[in-house]
Amino acid sequence: VEPGASTYSGNYDEALWPNWTKGKSDADITYNVSVELIHGRWAMLGCAGAWAAEQGTGINWFQAGAICTPADCTGIHFPGEVISMAPEGSGFPNFYIQLGLSVIMMGLAEGYRGGLIDNVFPELEVGDLHPGGEHFDPLGLADKLDLDRMKIAELKHARLAMLSWLGYMSQAVATNCDNPFGIGSKTWPSFIEGAKGPYANWLDHIANPYVENVWKYTGLFQ
């Protein structure tokens, strides 16, 4: 892809993996591009959310599910909250309500995006990953910024975020299990009391970068 060109159009044979489009139809290429971007957007949200949640609540991402179970979902708290989400003893938040709302909201979003549900947003077309308009770009940034450049920047950040999330998962196993790769480990991070998440590991690293690093947990060069 030429510098400054959109990654969603143009000569894909000049991309990082030459000839990766060989044997693929335009529909296949469009599908692969859309899947990569959607996964990347989820990764960006996931990385930011896991980091912020652990920093704000002290609960790491791989143990967060334990605070909202069918038996008890009243442990949800937000950093700095003045009042609780519901009166004490009310039984709320409720696990099944949370689950139902999540399914409905995700179902509607995917239904609109994939065309399974009649679209209520006039500017949204099926398969369009950058719809814009008053509902999806209320600040009008598409008219103020170089849209193609922003698309490339988003894709680069998305790819970095996917690699970062792989790092989050690797870190959870390497720094908490009884061996750096989790192979044969009797206990996984989700079940280890006091297990460290990415934010806690980052604090350890910046406090002592020469000791708290990947080499410590792989056992190499020691």
**What is the secondary structure of the chain as a DSSP string?**
--TTS-TTSS-GGGSSSTTTTTT--HHHHHHHHHHHHHHHHHHHHHHHHHHHHHHHHS--GGGGGGGS-SS--TT---TT-SS-SS-TTS--S-HHHHHHHHHHHHHHHHHHHHTSS----TT--TT-S---HHHH-TT-HHHHS-HHHHHHHHHHHHHHHHHHHHHHHHHHHHTTSSSTT-TT-SS-GGGSTT---HHHHHHHHHHSTTTSSHHHHH-TT-
The answer to whether the annotation marks 55 as part of a ligand binding site is no
pLDDT of residue 219: 66
The answer to whether the annotation marks 2 as part of a ligand binding site is no
Tokens of 218: 């792989």
The answer to whether the annotation marks 39 as part of a ligand binding site is yes
pLDDT of residue 3: 43
pLDDT values of the chain reduced to their tens digit, one per residue, 222 residues: 444 444 555 554 455 566 677 788 888 888 888 888 999 999 999 999 999 888 887 889 998 888 888 888 776 666 655 556 666 666 677 889 889 999 999 998 888 887 788 877 777 777 778 887 778 888 888 888 888 888 888 889 999 999 999 999 988 888 888 766 666 666 788 888 888 999 999 999 999 998 888 888 776 655
pLDDT of residue 4: 41
CA distance linking residue 131 with residue 144, whole number of Å: 16
pLDDT of residue 207: 94
Domain boundaries, the chain: 12-218
Choose which CATH entry (2.40.50.140, 3.90.1720.10, 1.10.3460.10, 3.40.50.2300) describes domain 12-218: 1.10.3460.10
Does residue 93 have a cis bond before it (omega within 30 degrees)? Answer: yes
pLDDT of residue 160: 95
Tokens of 158: 């998305």
CA distance linking residue 199 with residue 59, whole number of Å: 10
pLDDT of residue 181: 63
The answer to whether the annotation marks 110 as part of a ligand binding site is yes
Neighbours of 16 (CB within 10 A): 6
The answer to whether the annotation marks 14 as part of a ligand binding site is no
CA distance linking residue 126 with residue 119, whole number of Å: 9
